[in-house]
Amino acid sequence: MREVVLDTETTGFDPKTGDRMVEIGAVELFNHMPTGRTYHQYINPERDVPEGAFQVHGLSQEFLRDYPVFKDVADAFLDFIGDAKLVIHNASFDVPFLNAELGWCNRPRIPMEQAVDTLLIARKKYPGAGNSLDALCRRFGIDNSHRTLHGALLDSEILAEVYLELIGGRQPGLVLGALESSTNDADPQETWRPRPRPEPLPSRLTPEEQAAHAAFVEALGDKALWSNSV
């Protein structure tokens, strides 16, 4: 199963009021494990970057000026994500920005059903607790000390680790596999029990070793523990 962990940085909070994306970062997972494939793109928002947004991600209008506008990278972005599930922390923020940018350049929009929102998973799993990306890193012991500013690719890489912990650890498939193997062709209520082998395994002792052991036990005498029946 292919998934893409994704994050964006923007000039503000709402594309309806003119805010734009300035960065996209994404990490590919296959069967819940990173493949090493990533997507990263800075974007010229064709507008100023407010000071509040700059304090969050450190991307200035001057820095972004020489990067492509979104319409010039839209096809490469869509090719990378394909029809994979998009793992996003607070999808209700990122997906509307993505869809606004896609709509402005006449590209197909992303259905909300394609997104897996790790914020909602965390809130359900840890109600009342802090569920920001930094708080979840502290909860799971994930090192994010290099995250001094928000960055789309870095945050995607960190979120990939957080996501794996939220769904059960590094190898959640092992649990699923065990459940499947215990229920296939059997009553799901039946508890697994070991069954005897059709034929006993042959002894690994040589005849000489067996004779030496028998002589040793006989030399212990009738009071030896091994001579008592159980």
Catalytic positions are 150
CA atoms within 13 A on the CB side of 171: 4
* Distance of alpha carbon 139 from alpha carbon 133, whole angstroms: 10
* Secondary structure letter of residue 186 according to DSSP: S
Distance CA 39, CA 37 (A): 7
Q: Which residues contact 110 (CB under 8 A, 6 or more apart)?
A: 81, 86, 95, 98, 99, 102
**Could you give the CA distance from residue 133 to residue 162 in angstroms, rounded to a whole number?**
8
Decide: residue 69, CB within 10 A, 0-12 exposed, 13-18 middle, 19+ buried.
Answer: middle
Per DSSP, the three-state class of 139 is helix
Please give the Cα distance from 126 to 129 (Å, whole number): 6
Site of tokens 């990263």: 40
